[in-house]
Amino acid sequence: MQAKTMPFPSMHGARMLAAALLLALAGAFVSVAAHAQAAMPPGPQGHGYGHGEFGGGRGLERMLDSVNASADQRSRIQEIMKSARADLRAQHEASRGLREQMATLFAQPTVDARAVESLRQQMLQQHDQSSRRWTQAMLDASAVLSADQRAQLAERMKQRRDMMQRHQRERRALDQPNG
> Cα Rg for the chain, rounded, in angstroms?
23
Q: Distances from the Cα of 104 to the Cαs of 57, 68, 97, 110, in angstroms?
A: 35, 50, 11, 11
pLDDT of residue 44: 35
pTM above 0.85, yes or no: no
Question: What distance in Å separates the CA atoms of residue 24 and residue 63, rounded to the nearest whole number?
Answer: 40
Cα diameter, the chain: 77
Residues 1 and 86: their CA atoms lie apart, in Å, by 64
Burial class, 33, CB count within 10 angstroms (exposed 0-12 / middle 13-18 / buried 19+): middle
The interaxial angle of helices 71-107 and 11-38, nearest 10 deg, is: 160
Reported as half-sphere exposure (CB side, CA atoms, 13 A), residue 85 has a value of 20
Which comes out higher in pLDDT, residue 178 or 122? 122
Q: Return the pLDDT at 4.
A: 47
**pLDDT the model gives residue 76:** 96
Write out pLDDT tens, residues 54-103: 456 788 888 899 899 999 999 999 999 999 999 999 888 888 899 999 99
Burial environment of residue 113 by CB neighbours within 10 A (0 to 12, 13 to 18, 19 or more): exposed
pLDDT tens by residue, 137-159: 999 999 999 999 999 989 988 99
User: Can you tell me the mean pLDDT for 13-25?
Assistant: 43
